[in-house]
Amino acid sequence: MFEFVSYLMAGLSLGSTYVLIALGFTLIFGVMGIMNVAHADVFMLAIFTYLFISTTLGLPVGWALLIAVVAGALAGLVVYWAVLKRIDKSHPVALFVSTLGVSYVVENFIAKRINFQRPSLQPIFESDPIILGGVVFTGPRLLLFAVTIVIAGGLIIWLKKSKTGLLLRAVSENPLMARVVAIDTNRVVMIAIAIASFIAACGGLVVGNATLTADAFIANSLSLKMFAVAVVAGIGSVGGATIVGLSLGIIESFTVAYAGSQWQNVIGLVAMAVVLMVRPQGLFGRVLRVG
């Protein structure tokens, strides 16, 4: 019983990471119709910005966090303005490759700045672990899970209830129709990217707090999960991404425990392949994107 719960907890932590990164990715995919591979790098940028601000510049933690999160949101917008916006949608391949390029640039640039090392961090938020029924719940992990639930829940509610959320859903479903009802799609896309990047930045920070390392190339392992969650859940489905992300984490955790760690990274891939063959719009996707 004890083991079960601790695997479950580990799985939820893992899954939370996946959710935080997949949410933004699927949001962007829904609204823009493009798979922004570079999104995972916002996650990484936030933690490095935090490190830079707090250690090199020596600013207090609160400021460092704030700046890191804002920097993350801005980074996404900058990439959109500088690159994505300038390549017309009628060249989807070039657009996609450009995201690969941006990712490559950002990762290698950061890596060079830290001499291709992997710095470790001091925990940002620490607390005494809670022990329930013999199982240890560490502070950072709880925080990670809590932040995930709050962000995912907040996003879902916002999309359903707010005016801007409605506009976003409209553009996601049918960009042409959105233009027909005079929605400024460009503005909506920017809002979506800002939100997506903000979430990814928060994600990077809470996960960094839990893992205590910063890896410039983390996107290479994370993006596999990002794609898998988004594809399995379905284009633009935020609630679905939350469920699928957490589930993937849990499944992976139990797989590692009972079958060995080499299978961990195959699950997401297999799930993705199966979904693409059997139900391409994803488990929770209701309609294949029009246009």
Partner 1 sequence: MSNQEALSLNDLNVAYGVIKAVQGVNLSVAEGSITALIGSNGAGKSSTLKAVAGIEKAAPGSIKVYGEDISQLQMRQRVINHGVVLIPEGRSVFTTMTVEENLMLGLRVGDQRAAAGHAATFSMDEAYDLFPVLKDRRNGRAQMLSGGEQQMLAIARSLLMSPKVLLIDEPSMGLAPLLVRKIFGVMKDVFARSAVSVLLVEQDTSIALELASDAYLLTHGEVVAHSSSDEMRRDSRLREAYLGKGDALGKTAKQGQN
Partner 2 sequence: MFGFYVDDIFVVALTYGLVTLGLYVTLASGQFSVAHASLMGLGGYMGGWATTQWNLPFPIAIILGGLAGGLGGLLIAFILQRTSGILLGTVTIAIGQSLSLVAQNTEFLGASQGLTGIPLKSDLPTATILMALALTAVLLIQRTSFGMQVVAAGRDETVARSLGVSILGIRLYGFGFGGFLAGLGGVLLAHHNGVIDPSNLSYAFEPLFFIFLVLGGYSSAWGGVLGAIGITWIMEVLRFNGGTFLFLDQQDRPWLLGLVLVVVLIISPDGAIRRKSIKTSMATSAKVG
Residue in 43, 52, 41 with CA at minimum distance from that of residue 205: 43
Which of partner 1, partner 2, none does 16 bind, CB closer than 5 to 8 A by kind?
none
What are the beta bridge partners of residue 130? 137
Nearer Cβ to partner 2 (136/288): 288
Q: Which of 279, 273, 184 is closest to 237 using CA atoms? A: 279
Tokens of 237: 């489905």
Position 286 contacts partner 1 (CB under 8 A) = yes
User: Are the C-beta atoms of 201 and 72 separated by less than 8 Å?
Assistant: yes
Burial of 38 per CB tally in 10 Å (0-12, 13-18, 19+): buried
User: Which residues in 204-243 contact partner 2 (CB under 8 A)?
Assistant: 217, 220-221, 223-224, 227-228, 231
What backbone torsions phi and psi does residue 285 show, to the nearest 5 degrees?
-75, 130
Within 10 A of 162 (CB to CB), how many other CB atoms are there? Answer: 11
Q: Choose among 232, 249, 250: nearest CA to 241.
A: 232
Our finding on whether 91 is near partner 1 (CB under 8 A) is no
For the CB of residue 30, give the shortest distance to partner 1 in the complex, in Å: 11
Query: How far, in whole angstroms, is CA 70 from its chain's centroid?
Result: 16
Q: Tell me how far, at minimum, the Cβ of 206 lies from partner 1, in Å.
A: 31
CA-angle at 211, arms to 237 and 108, nearest 5°: 80
Within positions 69 to 98, which residues make up the interface with partner 2, using CB under 8 A? 83, 86-88, 90-98
> If contact means CB under 5 to 8 A according to the sort of partner, which of partner 1, partner 2, none does residue 109 touch?
partner 2
CB of 165 to partner 2, least distance (A): 26
Residue 117's Cβ-count burial label (10 Å; 0-12, 13-18, 19+) is exposed
Pick from partner 1, partner 2, none: which does 183 bind, CB < 5 to 8 A by kind? partner 1
Residues in contact with partner 1, total (CB under 8 A)?
17
* One residue of 170, 205, 222, 243 binding partner 1 per CB under 8 A: 170
Q: CB of 163: closest distance to partner 1 in angstroms?
A: 8
Strands (E), 79-228: 130-132, 135-137
Binding site for partner 2 (CB under 8 A): 34-35, 37, 83, 86-88, 90-98, 100-109, 111-112, 115-116, 217, 220-221, 223-224, 227-228, 231, 260-266, 268-269, 272-273, 276-277, 280
Binding site for partner 1 (CB under 8 A): 163, 166, 169-170, 173-174, 176-177, 179-184, 286-287, 290
